[in-house]
Each structure stands twice: as C-alpha cells, then as structure tokens.
C-alpha cells in the first residue's frame, strides 16, 4: 500500500511515521526540495497545480490524503479521477472559505460568533452597526495563525482595514471575549465509525499555537463532540477533522475546522491509545479505528523558531521530543515535545520544566 500525501511538512512526516508499522509506504508531493517528510517518504517535487507532477504522483500511489487544506480545487478533482482521495473536496471547500464554513455552522445549529459577509469597503459601516465593536475582519480565504485578520475596536479602525487585507472578500465577526480556546479532534472511517479524542485546551503566542493540554473530564466535551459529529455526518467525512472553538464562560462558539490532522492533537502520539495520525490512516484506508482515550495526563508544547536542547527535554520525566529536522527560522514550527505522566503532580512539575525551555 502506497499512500500519497499532498504536502510534505511535519504533519505528513508524522503520518508516515505512524503508518510504517501498519506496512504502508508513503509518497509526498511538495514543491519544497527540503520538505521535512522526505526523511521518511518518497518525494515528488512539484507545484500543487502542475498537471505533470500530479500525474506522476498519482501513478505512484494507491490513495491520496493531504496535510493542509490550501490545495487548488482543480488539482484535487484531477487526482480524484485517478485515485481515491480522502477527505472529500467538499470538506476542503468548506474549510477554505470562512463564509461557507460559518454558514454551514449556522445551518447545522452550531453556535458561532455573529458574522456578516463583506465584499467591498462600503459594506463595513453597515455591518459594524449590526455586529458592533469590537469586531474582527477576516479574509474569507488563505488566513491562518492569525494572519489575514484585523481587530476593529472603534470607527477610527475602519479606514483602510479592508485594503490592508488586500481588498479581497472578507467576513466581519463579533469579537468573542473568550475565557479559553479548545479543540476537539475526531476520526471518521469510510463506514461512518467515529471516535473522538478528549478536548485540548489551547494557548497561543503571537497567533501560533504554543501549548495544548488534554482535558479528560472537560465539561464542554459533549457539546464540542455533538457539534463535531454533525459536521462529520453532514460532510460524510473520512479522516481526522479538528474543530476549534471559543469557550465564552460556558458557551461554546465554533471558530473553524481543519480537515486534517491538527497541531492541537500532537499530544496523542504518546498520550492517546491510538494517535490522531494512526487513526487518520486507519480511517482513509477503511480499517477499524483505534481507541482515542488518553493514557494519562498529557500535553504538548510547540518549539517555534528553534528547537529546545535535546538532553534538557529528555531529562524531564514523561517528556518526549519530536524534532522535525527543519531549518530554524523565526515563527516556524520546528518541533514539539509531549508530556505523559500517570500522576497529576508529576505532570504539573514536568510541564513547568518544559515550558521553561521555550
């Protein structure tokens, strides 16, 4: 079995690392010559919209999945004509466009911040009357890690805000004074079998995920899971899907979905009975899913810009290091570490030691 992955970054690398024990081989398609998944997979160096590269890739693989959602729709439909592709292009289309995504939330009765479509700068004053200040203006497509958005606190902030985002179609959202951010990750197989991981509580630094803590008894688990299930079933989804939510003092509001394995689920590598990477592969291959429960107290800390000292991390009880072998660069995720312990006290001590290294 040769599994093709669109994108050759760390998510593809961790998918391949999880799939080798199942007897799978991997081929990634990525335009970057130094894509970090190439250490554990064949690598087709090609642009995502290059028909020759896509054709060559499709001839090497039995099935295609992806590690990020900004793949041109035409490329996915071309590949679909050659080999099975999971998850479906419907899920990609939803996650790629914030207006379609939030409209789907609304249609399914999933609470989400109030929002209005903004097509020109002239739409803003009227929209702000209904949404109110503060509000967040976001480009409908290509935003990530807080990029492609601007917070509007008062009428003075309106000027040039639309232009600053490139004068592209946007949505205006109510700013949510959330108490915390959480995500729920699920895997759904080809036959509809579904498992949910315990929610992760996520903290960001400069818009980039810093820390995810697995919450095994979270009061929001059932609502988050219910929201996620309605999306999975509506999209007839196959694979791992992450739903990010704001917890505004006990009221959950959906922010966005990621139709792929997710950074907030990296703790599952050591921390869950079956990792999100293995369950994604099991789901797309139509195999039985594995238990998604936690093995203990666990968390994940990202290394951004540069990785931490190997020896210092490994000295921490319960710590495991994942170095993606990527070149150091400010703002770049180059690795992460997880903590897994059986006691809560040891967890808190180890996590504090790990955080001190970042």
Considering the rule CB under 6 A, would residue 256 count as an interface residue with ligand AMP? yes
Q: Where are the alpha helices (DSSP H) in 97-180?
A: 98-107, 123-131, 161-164
Task: Report, in Å, the least distance between residue 154 CB and ligand AMP.
Answer: 16
Does residue number 335 form part of the binding site for ligand AMP (CB under 6 A)? no
CB of residue 163 vs ligand AMP: minimum separation in angstroms?
20
The answer to whether 279 contacts ligand AMP (rule: CB under 6 A) is no
CB distance 183 to 202 below 8 Å: yes
Among 7, 19, 53, 113, binds ligand AMP (CB under 6 A): 113
Site string for ligand AMP, 163-182 (x = CB under 6 A): ----------x-xx----x-
Q: How far is the CB of 146 from ligand AMP (least distance, A)?
A: 4
205 is a contact residue toward ligand AMP (CB under 6 A): no
Structure tokens at 10: 């760390």
Kindly tell me which residue out of 125, 126, 132, 146 binds ligand AMP, with binding defined by CB under 6 A. 146
Query: Which CB sits closer to ligand AMP, 255 or 279?
Result: 255
* Smaller CB separation from ligand AMP, 21 or 177: 177
Handedness of CA 294, 69, 284, 324 (dihedral sign): negative
Q: Which is nearer to ligand AMP, 5 or 176 (CB)?
A: 176
For residue 138, the minimal CB distance to ligand AMP (Å) is: 6
Contact between 11 and ligand AMP per CB under 6 A: no
136 interacts with ligand AMP by CB under 6 A: yes
CA separation, residue 299 to residues 75, 143, 154 (Å): 36, 26, 38
Point out the residue whose Cβ comes nearest to ligand AMP. Answer: 176
Q: Tell me if 71 contacts ligand AMP by CB under 6 A.
A: no
C-alpha distances out from residue 271 to 19, 32, 134, 295, 311, Å: 17, 31, 38, 5, 21
Neighbours of 158 (CB within 10 A): 16
Q: How far apart are CA 131 and CA 235, in angstroms?
A: 29
Alpha carbons 74 and 89: distance in angstroms, whole number: 10
The stretch near ligand AMP (CB under 6 A) out of 57-65, 139-147, 282-290, 340-348 is 139-147
Strands (E) across the chain are located at: 2-6, 25-29, 42-44, 63-66, 115-118, 135-139, 149-152, 170-174, 180-188, 194-196, 200-205, 208-214, 239-248, 251-258, 297-304, 319-323, 333-341
- Please identify, using beta-carbon distances, which residue of 20 and 164 lies nearer to ligand AMP: 164
Question: Which parts of this chain interact with ligand AMP (CB under 6 A)?
Answer: 113, 136, 143-144, 146, 173, 175-176, 181, 204, 207, 255-256
């Amino acid at each position: 079995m040769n599994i093709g992955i669109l994108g050759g970054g760390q998510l593809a690398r961790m998918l391949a690392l999880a799939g080798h024990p199942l007897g799978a081989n991997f081929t990634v398609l990525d335009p970057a010559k130094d894509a970090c998944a190439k250490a554990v997979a064949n690598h087709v160096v090609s642009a995502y919209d290059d028909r020759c590269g896509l054709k060559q890739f499709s001839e090497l693989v039995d099935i295609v999945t992806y590690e990020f959602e900004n793949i041109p729709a035409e490329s996915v439909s071309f590949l679909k004509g050659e080999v099975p592709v999971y998850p479906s292009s419907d899920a990609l289309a939803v996650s790629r466009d914030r207006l379609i995504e939030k409209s789907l939330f609304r249609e399914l009765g999933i609470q989400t911040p109030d929002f209005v479509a903004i097509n020109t700068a002239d739409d803003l004053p009227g929209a702000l009357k209904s949404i109110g200040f503060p509000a967040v203006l976001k480009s409908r497509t290509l935003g990530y890690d807080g990029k492609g958005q601007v917070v509007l606190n008062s009428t003075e902030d309106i000027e040039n805000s639309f232009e600053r985002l490139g004068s592209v179609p946007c949505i205006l959202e109510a700013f949510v004074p959330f108490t915390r951010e959480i995500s729920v990750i699920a895997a759904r197989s080809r036959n509809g079998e579904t498992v949910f991981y315990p929610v992760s509580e996520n903290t960001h630094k400069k818009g980039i995920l810093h820390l995810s803590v697995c919450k095994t008894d979270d009061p929001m688990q059932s609502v988050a899971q219910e929201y996620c299930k309605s999306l999975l079933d509506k999209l007839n989804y196959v694979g791992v899907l992450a739903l990010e939510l704001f917890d505004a003092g006990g009221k959950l509001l959906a922010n966005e979905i990621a139709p792929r394995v997710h950074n907030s689920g990296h703790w599952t590598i050591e921390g869950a009975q079956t990792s999100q990477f293995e369950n994604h592969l099991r789901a797309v291959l139509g195999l039985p899913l594995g238990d998604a429960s936690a093995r203990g107290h666990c968390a994940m800390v990202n290394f951004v810009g540069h990785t931490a000292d190997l020896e210092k991390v490994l000295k921490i009880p319960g710590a495991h290091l994942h170095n993606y072998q990527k070149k150091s660069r400010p703002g770049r995720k180059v690795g992460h570490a997880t903590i897994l312990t059986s006691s809560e006290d040891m967890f808190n001590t180890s996590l504090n030691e790990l955080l001190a290294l970042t």
